[in-house]
Chains A and B, each alone.
Chain A
């Protein structure tokens, strides 16, 4: 099956066009939010705490905020597009053509990656002014940014398929995605946590995405980047399999 078919490219292009036409809301707003986090937390905590050896708190925070923005916006892109299309009824334009399940999933996910990276890059460009960043292993930065955005884009597809109303999607975001992101070490190193919460954090896949991403900047992480890569890759494959299965079954799409 040719996943780079005209159908895939068209749906991908449509998804890009969709968020680009409202870029103030989809790109600029999350960049401003991340900058506010940096200004507030950086101002209050810089010089008072040290998460990694020889790294200021503001510098520690920047990769966390960048990755948090990548993850949250990748999720928002696919999930909001699907729920809007379901509720307004225009999802029928995707369901009537001969698009394969893989084409549909990959188009939504790749577009989510693009949106996540666009916001992440914006956050990086703005926040990097306030921190002294190094790039010890840039390949890890790219790998974890891509995988993290892909995972959240796929989760967004699953949530968009499952949700029937906006409040169900909001619940998915508020009670699952946001806590999992915030508790994954965006603002702190999990080594600073008490033993119980340290153990709990190891069951949070979002932690490995952020930890591996941060390793690319500082060459230091709470777990080995290879361990993080393995866990994140398995998580991605599992979610993609679930999403493909839902699309194949027509779950909540084809009755």
Chain B
């Protein structure tokens, strides 16, 4: 089967700054794919290249086999993009905006689907309201609706939940999950890693224009060994013998520690060492490793040139 998105050796520079350094990856049809990375990693540049808004210096991008530069009409018909910036046309109402966007994709009499999209994104009560009068969250919903008016088989969401409330997130993910179940490929960039962990089947991590990890979510989660033990101390401090287990942060006035635990059996040993040192535990939590732990490990690892692509 043709890949939903095929990215081959894409490089892009801006005035000497290399934003993408030979990115290659395939996203298969029907996948829910996460594109993660810190600010400046090249996520938005890559998405803009997929959308045809940026032309690569080297390499190519194909949507369902259509080159985004040479066969741009076919490629763009297959693609719906939700841009990161909250942009809107102040001259029009929500319904007008969606009808116009439909028309740009060559669709006439698309009101039935437009109504369904608005219903699923809770936009129906705002259908005849001017875009200027909408809240930020509502404008974000319209952006999502605009990307979906032509029922694209590939949907790209560039930080769709940045700065929006819980209600929109739930509404959005419910609808996008439905579309994914119906066969639409979804590509998501987000800084909310718990969202990516919940939604994405496969993930690529970018750092400084390179893919530093590419794997299924389950494989990625297996990469981080064990869990974390978070201890808040009432009295005393962490004994020297346990310092090497500290995972990443210390807070709460230096009395809270996150310790890496490979096996549950190690917990008893840690507690014993704490008791021996005279420390008294105020609160304690055992946490499973999550995508955030992996993200931090991979980003730190990538800094030390450990590229890990599978």
Contacts and interface: CB of A to CB of B under 8 A. Distances in A.
A92 B87 contact: yes
Given A17-B92, A98-B76, A98-B106, A254 B101 contact: no
A90 B104 contact: no
Contacts of A96: 51-53, 76, 79, 81
B53 A92 contact: yes
B91 A17 contact: yes
A52 B102 CA distance: 53
Given A10-B104, A96-B53, A254-B54, A90 B88 contact: yes
Nearest to B76: A98
Contact of A7 (B75, B87, B88, B103): B103
Interface residues of A, number: 28
A100 interface: yes
B100 interface: yes
B225 to A, nearest CB: 43
Contact of A6 (B53, B89, B106): B106
B104 A7 contact: yes
Contacts of B85: 89
B113 to A, nearest CB: 15
Nearest to A91: B87
A97 B107 CA distance: 11
Interface in B48-64: 48, 51-55
Contact of A21 (B52, B74, B91, B100): B91
A88 B52 contact: no
A85 B85 CA distance: 13
Contacts of A17: 91-92, 96
A93 B104 contact: yes
A254 B103 contact: no
A14 B101 CA distance: 10
Contacts of B77: 98
A13 B103 contact: yes
Contacts of B92: 14, 17
Contacts of A6: 103, 106-108
A4 B53 CA distance: 24
A191 interface: no
Interface in B62-115: 72-77, 79, 81, 83, 85, 87-92, 96, 100-108
Contacts of B103: 6-7, 9-11, 13-14
Given A93-B101, A250-B55, A18 B106 contact: no
A99 interface: yes
A88 B96 CA distance: 18
B49 to A, nearest CB: 10
Interface residues of B, number: 35
A93 B142 CA distance: 12
A208 B75 CA distance: 44
A89 B90 CA distance: 11
Nearest to B88: A90
Interface in A93-107: 93-100
Given A6-B103, A11-B104, A98 B74 contact: yes
B189 interface: no
Nearest to A11: B104
A48 interface: no
Contacts of A97: 76, 101, 104-105, 150
Contacts of B150: 97
Contacts of A93: 87, 89, 100-101, 104, 146
Contacts of B100: 10, 13-14, 93
Interface string A131-159: 00000000000000000000000000000
A15 B127 CA distance: 21
A71 to B, nearest CB: 24
Contacts of B105: 7, 97-98
A6 B106 CA distance: 5
B95 to A, nearest CB: 13
A89 B79 CA distance: 19
Contacts of B108: 6
Contact of A99 (B14, B79, B81, B104): B104
Contact of A98 (B48, B73, B91): B73
Contacts of B106: 5-7, 98
A93 B81 CA distance: 10
A250 B48 CA distance: 13
Contacts of A92: 53, 83, 87
A90 B51 CA distance: 15
B65 to A, nearest CB: 15
Given A22-B91, A255-B53, 8 more contacts: A6-B107, A7-B106, A89-B87, A96-B79, A96-B81, A98-B75, A255-B14, A255-B48
26 contacts: A7-B106, A9-B103, A10-B100, A13-B100, A13-B103, A14-B100, A17-B91, A17-B96, A22-B91, A88-B88, A92-B87, A93-B87, A93-B146, A94-B104, A95-B52, A95-B53, A96-B52, A96-B53, A96-B79, A98-B76, A99-B104, A100-B73, A250-B55, A254-B52, A254-B54, A255-B55
Interface of B: 14, 48, 51-55, 72-77, 79, 81, 83, 85, 87-92, 96, 100-108, 146, 150
